[in-house]
Structure 1
Amino acid sequence: MINVALLSKWHVHADDYARQAIENEHLQIRVVWDENIERGIEWAKKMNVPFEQDLMKVLTNPEINAVIVDTPTNLHKEIIMLSAENKKHIFTEKVLAFTLQDCKEIYDVVEKNNVQLMVSLPRLTENYYLYAQQVLDQGMLGKLTSIRCRLAHNGAVPIEGNPNGWLPKHFFNKEECGGGALIDLGAHPIYLTNRLGGPVKAVSARLQQQFNDEVDDNSVAIIEYENGALGLIETGFLSYGGPFQLELYGTEGTLLIEDSKIRIKSRQLNEGWQTPEILPDKLPMPMEQWVNSIISEEVPAITKTDVQGLTLINQACLRSHEQGRRVETAEIMNINLPLKK
């Protein structure tokens, strides 16, 4: 049995991960810690486990094997590195850290201490993504020329009794979150298009602050891939009822995904739009992949490359917005390269 500590209920998905841990036969929640003591005590009561106010007592407890980290993102680096140094396996919410350099430092400690780190990038396990990857790999679209991915909701649209909308107020705290819509909800389009488009050469981004003065709530990024393709990532907290969309265009075909509806047109298929009859099987969810890597040393499908690539694009997009220019990823990947003015 893997004994788990829940570290913070700050993130909106914390309850989801606690539920997944309860449902996993190999995990047992043993203790709760939270930077917000009142919230932590309440959560511990709900979980029917003790609350521990001292983080180091949790991390030095030899009976605790692993931690699920849902702290504010600006605490990720410190807490994840402390967890790794104390030989705890780590599951955490995206993003891992605000900068690529911080990600590299985290992975150095994780690998030195031989613990398993999993960042939750769940859409890489979905059958629609796996089908899109299959179509690309089989050449059914020919040479990929462009990708568009959109994911948005209305979480920041003011509602009666809450001028910030239904998202927690702390999701608009720039210090804690590192940003708004792009770094949070936009993570999914970023890591999906990173996989499908391949290495990124440059980005140009606009992080709009339409309703909120502190973080972006409506954002767009143009991605230039090394293979010559272009990408468009759209996200926001101000859209009601809009579907998830993933579109791939190539010299030989087009793939359109809108929520659960999938259509493909290709020179290699019959005339007109086709709906695939069979989709690939879903992969295990991130938490299950994490557990399998701990128990049987299975190599997860979600990789360090995925995790670092997500932070790389976020970091480049923020720089592009702040400096009003196109940003090449080489500026960030090579910290010794002089930054363009």
Structure 2
Amino acid sequence: MIHVALLSRWHVHADDYAREIRENEHLSVQVVWDEDMERGRKWAEELGVPFEPDLQSVLANPSIDAIVVNTPTNLHKEIILAAANNKKHIFTEKVLAFSVKDCEEIFDTVEAQGVKLMVSLPRLTREYYLYAKKVVDKGWLGQLTMIRCRLAHNGAVPSKGETQGWLPAQFFDKEQCGGGSLIDLGAHPIYLTNRLAGPVQALHARLQQTKKLGVDDSAVVLVEYESGALGVIETSFLSNGSPFQLELYGTEGTLLIEDERIRLKSSQLGDGEWIHPEEIDSSLPMPLEQWAAFIKDGTVPTITKEDVIHLTLINEAAALSDQESRRIEIKEIVKDRENTRVKDSSILG
């Protein structure tokens, strides 16, 4: 049995992970820590486990094998590095960190300590993504020329008689979150399009503060891929009834996914008429289940280090693009990172 400590109920998915752990025969919640002690004590009582107010005591406890991180994102690096150095396996809510440099430092430490790290990128396990990947890999679209992905909800729209939407107030705290709709909800379109369209060459982003909440509540990123394809990533906290949409266009076909409804038109299939696939591959195990298998028997997860780093890379470039109101080439971010590494190595002598 893998003994798990839950670190913070700050994130809206914390309860989901607690439930998934309880449903997994290989995992067991042993203790709760929270930077908000009142919230943590309440959660521990609900789960029927002890609350520990001292984080270091949790990390140093030899009976704890692994941690699940649901803290504010600005605490991720500090907590994950400390956990890795205490030989704890780590599952964390996205994003891993605010910069590629910090992500790489985390991975270096995790690998040096021999612990297993998983970041929750759940839509890479879903059947519609797997079908889209199959369509691209088989060449049914010909050359991919355009990709669009939209994920939005109404979390910042107050209900009648309310002063704020259903998203908790901390999701609009830039210091804790690092941003708003793009870094949070937009993460899913980013990592999906990264996988399907390949390396990004440049982008231009607009992070809109329609409601003046302190962070972006709607965002659009125009992406240029090394392949020559274009992409559009859309997200919002201000959209009521907006379906999930994933669209791929190519020289020989079109794939349209809306929520979980899929249709494909290809000059290579079905006389070029619309196809509505009835049988597609089942979803893969969810990230937390993959993490448990990774710890237990070394089963390599389908979510990779590259997925995690490239997610932060696009976020970092998009934030810079919005800040400076210009097109950003990805090599600018990579060059800055390499210069920092050279500087750091010079300081270390």
Q: Give TM-score scaled by structure 1 length.
A: 0.98
C-alpha deviations, 1:139-161, integer Å up to 9, x for none? Answer: 00000001000000000012245
Contact 1:331 1:337 in 2 (8 A): no
Match of 1:213 in 2: 213
State the match for 1:91 in structure 2: 91
Total equivalences in the alignment? 339
Distance, in Å, in 2 between the alignment partners of 1:97 and 1:141 is 35
Q: Provide the C-alpha distance between the structure 2 equivalents of 1:131 and 1:229, rounded to a whole number of angstroms.
A: 20
Q: Distance in 2 between matches of 1:292 and 1:51?
A: 27
Counterpart Cα distance in 2 of 1:188 and 1:336:
24
Q: Distance in 2 between matches of 1:338 and 1:206?
A: 27
Structure 2 SS opposite 1:205: strand
In 2, Cα distance between equivalents of 1:164 and 1:196: 36
Aligned residue identity for 1:17: Y
The corresponding residue for 2:297 is 296
CA contact (8 A) 1:222 1:232 kept: yes
Counterpart secondary structure, 1:41: helix
Partner-residue secondary structure (3-state), 1:257: strand
Using the TM superposition, give the Cα deviation of residue 269 of structure 1 relative to its aligned residue in structure 2, in angstroms. 1.1
Question: Which amino acid is the alignment partner of residue 260 of structure 2?
Answer: S
In the TM superposition, what whole-angstrom CA distance separates every residue of 1:136-187 from its partner, at most 9, and x where no partner exists? 0000000000100000000001224542211000100000000000000000
Report deviation, 1:337. 6.6
1:119 paired residue number: 119
- Aligned AA (2:310): G
Structure 1 residues 51-80: Cα deviation after superposition (integer angstroms, max 9, x where no partner): 000000000000000000000000000000
Is 2:202–2:225's contact at 8 Å kept on the other side of the alignment?
yes
CA positional deviation for 1:193 = 0.2
CA distance in 1 between counterparts of 2:120 and 2:339 reads 33
Aligned mates of 1:96, 1:133 — CA distance in 2: 24
Task: Indicate yes or no: 2:133 matched with 1:133.
Answer: yes
Aligned to 2:71: 71
Corresponding residue of 2:151: 151
Offset, 1:129 = 0.3
In structure 2, relative to structure 1, the CA distance for the partners of 1:26 and 1:160 (3 Å cut) is: same
Q: Compared with structure 1, are the counterparts of its residues 52 and 161 closer, same or farther at alpha carbon in structure 2 (3 Å cutoff)?
A: farther
How far the C-alpha of 1:332 sits from its partner, in A, is 1.2
SS in 1 for 2:336: coil
Which segments of 5 or more consecutive residues in structure 1 lack a partner in the other structure? Answer: none
Letter in 2 for 1:281: S
The answer to whether the Cα contact below 8 Å between 2:221 and 2:234 also exists between their aligned partners in 1 is yes
SS at match of 1:147: strand
TM-score by length of 2: 0.95
Identity of aligned residues (%): 64
Is 1:263 the counterpart of 2:263? The answer is yes
Structure 2 residue aligned with 1:2: 2
Distance 2:163 2:212 in 1: 10
Superposed, 1:321-332 pairs within 5 Å as 321-332=322-333
Q: Is the 8 A contact 1:146 1:250 kept in 2?
A: yes
| Structure 2: runs of 5+ lacking an equivalent | 341-349
Which residue matches 2:230?
Answer: 230
4+ aligned runs moved over 6 Å, structure 1: none
Aligned Cα RMSD in Å? 1.2
Amino acid at match of 1:203: L
Paired residues of 2:101 and 2:337 also in contact (CA < 8 A)? no
Within the alignment, does 1:29 sit opposite 2:26 as a pair? no
For the residue of structure 2 that corresponds to 1:103, the secondary structure is: helix
Asked whether the equivalents of residues 171 and 180 of structure 1 are also in contact (C-alpha less than 8 Å), the reply is yes
- Output the amino acid matched with 2:291: W
The answer to whether the 8 Å contact 2:151/2:186 transfers is: yes
* Residue 279 (1) aligns with residue 276 (2): no
For residues 326 and 208 of structure 1, what CA distance do their matches in structure 2 show?
Answer: 16
Name the aligned partner's letter for residue 98 of structure 1: F
Distance in 2 (alpha carbons) for counterparts of 1:336 and 1:158: 41
Structure 1 or 2: larger helix share? 2
Q: What is the alpha-carbon distance in structure 1 between the residues aligned to residue 45 and residue 277 of structure 2?
A: 47
Corresponding residue for residue 310 of structure 1: 311
For 2:106 and 2:245, the matched residues in 1 are separated by 33
* Residue of structure 1 equivalent to 2:142: 142
**Match of residue 109 from structure 2:** 109
Deviations 1:194-231 (A, max 9, x none): 00010111110000000133100010000111111000
